Copies of this chain bind each other. A is one copy, B any other.
Amino acid sequence: MNSKLQWLRNKISSLDMQGIIISNPVNIKYLTNIEAEGTLIITPKENIYITDGRYIESVHSILTIFDEIIVYDIKDISKDDYENFFMFCENVGFEENYITYSKYKEYIRKFKINSFVETEYIIEKQRMIKDEEELSNITKACNITDECFKYILNYIKPGMTEKQIAEEIKEYYCKRTEGLSFDTIVASGENSSKPHAIPTDRKILERDIITIDMGCKVNGYCSDMTRTFFVGEPTDEMKKVYDIVLNNQKFALDQYKDGASTRQITKMIESNFKLNRYDLIHGLGHGVGLEIHEPPYINGRNDAILKENMIVTDEPGIYIPGKFGIRIEDTVQITKFGCISLTNSEKNYIIV
């Protein structure tokens, strides 16, 4: 059995569960490497993946005998099979934050489960701490992101549209990686004041401001980086805001380390923004891994504690509606005594 499934078996056993139903496809990919539509069930005796005819062949091509996973076609499972899977189990876990209310009711009925217990993100919590292979994949994705950004700075010329720049980034990534880790944001001029802007047909002007938020995937693992830069000399107001964002971004990096409270770090950035009469209107950062956004979420509402080998972003931003916005973001690895930035593109005023 692979080490991640073995970990899960030990974990649920320590929580007095005799079985678990895993529905979140990202958790299934993490545990088994399977990418399909289906459900992983861990029973006292077996590891079972239930899928349908569309995926049977491709799932079999991923698994080896060492995975010890039995694959079932959903249409071959009888009423008795369902009832037998968890027979004599006292507690069976489920992903309350993933399965819908109607699935919850269906599972209880179908599997005849006595005590169906919430598992409070056990797998997501484990996924926060990356092993060596995961770290290596994310580092590669971050390196390629730095290279792509360097390439795109040379590529951008006034007259190009935001969409055209986003397409070029996509093409760059698609040639070298599994593709984008999320839809690239290219937001210029007043569009940059929308944190989640979608690239438009707006053309880059001679004196413009551009925010690009980009990332790619290597072996399923994501990178995430944002830079805001200028075509020609920025205005004094832009410089002033840029300095506030950059200083806070660097300040947060100085605080990121094993044991640090993400709420406290966020609060410090928020106060400094307030002091300058701005607001931090989104979270300060988030975990990065198989998903582009995953725990830990770094904001004022949560209180996650940073741990060694977490991968998180640091991305403060200031947005002035109708005028412009500035965000600077790196993906970093938490270490015992600090953090290592995995994206390393220029952060001082960039002028193209």
Contacts and interface: CB of A to CB of B under 8 A. Distances in A.
Interface string A49-62: 00011110110000
A101 interface: yes
Given A167-B174, A174-B167, A196 B100 contact: no
Contacts of A233: none
B195 A54 contact: yes
Contacts of A52: 281-282
A193 B57 contact: yes
A158 interface: no
A53 B100 contact: no
A52, A102, A196 pick with most chain B CB within 10 angstroms: A102
Given A101-B101, A167-B174, A54 B96 contact: no
B99 A100 contact: yes
A53 B278 CA distance: 13
A140 interface: no
Interface in A78-118: 94, 96-104, 118
* Interface majority SS (helix, strand, loop, mixed), chain A: loop
B196 A58 contact: yes
A194 interface: yes
A232 interface: no
Interface residues of A, number: 30
Contacts of A282: 52-54
Interface in A116-138: 118
A54 B281 contact: yes
A118 B100 CA distance: 12
A195 B96 CA distance: 31
Nearest to A37: B196
Contacts of A96: 100-102
Interface string A194-215: 1111000000000000000000
Contacts of A279: 53
Interface string A150-184: 00000000000000000100000010000000000
B58 A194 contact: yes
B54 A196 contact: yes
B102 A100 contact: no
A36 B282 CA distance: 14
Contacts of A101: 94, 96-97, 99-101, 103-104, 118
A119 to B, nearest CB: 11
Nearest to A98: B100
22 contacts: A36-B196, A52-B282, A53-B279, A53-B281, A53-B282, A54-B195, A55-B196, A58-B194, A58-B196, A58-B197, A94-B101, A96-B101, A96-B102, A97-B100, A97-B101, A97-B102, A98-B100, A100-B101, A101-B101, A101-B103, A101-B104, A102-B118
Given A54-B195, A54-B196, 15 more contacts: A53-B195, A53-B279, A54-B281, A54-B282, A55-B196, A57-B193, A57-B321, A96-B101, A97-B100, A97-B101, A99-B101, A100-B100, A101-B101, A101-B118, A167-B174
Interface of A: 36, 52-55, 57-58, 94, 96-104, 118, 167, 174, 193-197, 279, 281-282, 319, 321
